[in-house]
């Protein structure tokens, strides 16, 4: 969390995510003022045949390990970030779309470019039970399809396959 310390007052926490996928890249910045929500903003771009125009699910996942060669790709990130008794692990996906890592969809233009700007109060960059810097870290995943934000959503309803990933650091 040393990113841009010179540019932010000491009471603002920050993190950065370098997004990478096949012909997809970008940077997201997370900032949080003391005792306030986290703002996530940045730019993503890619070949429009890979990062297709339209909506794509964008989620914080539970493990900060992005392995594109895993089967399926980026499955090393685990499920959506959702610590607690109703996590994405118990029972599987029962808490969707209320996982702490569920975020608004990413909207991509016809040239494969997207600007992202969202605010979430579901996570924190500061110490506590919903801190994304837990023992195994966290990652942001871009999905092939939009997240339909449906209860008990899995597979295509929750964004489908994973096409890009970045560790929150």
User: What is the per-residue pLDDT across 146-166, written as a single tens digit (0 to 9) for each?
Assistant: 987 765 555 555 578 999 999
Q: How far is CA 110 from CA 45, 59, 116, 139, 169, in A?
A: 11, 22, 15, 26, 30
Q: How many domains does the chain have?
A: 1
Q: For 82-135, what is each residue's pLDDT tens digit?
A: 886 554 454 445 555 567 899 999 999 999 999 999 999 999 999 988 999 999
Name the pTM for this structure: 0.85
Ranges assigned E (strand) in 74-134: 106-108, 113-120
- What pLDDT is stored for residue 97 in this prediction? 59
Q: What is the CATH number of the domain that holds 163?
A: 2.60.40.200
Q: Structural domain of residue 150, as residue ranges?
A: 5-167
d(CA 110, CA 152): 31
């Amino acid at each position: 969390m040393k990113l841009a310390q010179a540019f932010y007052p000491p009471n603002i926490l920050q993190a950065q995510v370098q997004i990478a996928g096949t012909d997809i890249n970008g940077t997201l910045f997370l900032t949080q003022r003391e005792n306030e929500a986290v703002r996530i903003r940045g730019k993503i771009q890619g070949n429009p045949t890979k990062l297709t125009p339209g909506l794509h699910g964008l989620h914080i996942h539970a493990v900060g390990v992005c392995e594109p060669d895993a089967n399926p790709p980026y499955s090393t990130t685990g499920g959506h970030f959702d610590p607690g008794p109703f996590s994405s692990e118990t029972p599987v996906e029962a808490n969707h779309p209320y996982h702490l890592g569920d975020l608004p969809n990413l909207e991509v233009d016809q040239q494969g470019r997207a600007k992202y700007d969202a605010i979430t109060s579901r996570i924190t960059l500061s110490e506590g039970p919903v801190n994304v810097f837990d023992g195994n870290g966290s990652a942001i995943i871009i999905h092939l399809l939009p997240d339909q934000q449906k209860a008990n959503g899995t597979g295509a309803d929750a964004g489908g396959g994973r096409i890009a990933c970045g560790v929150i650091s």
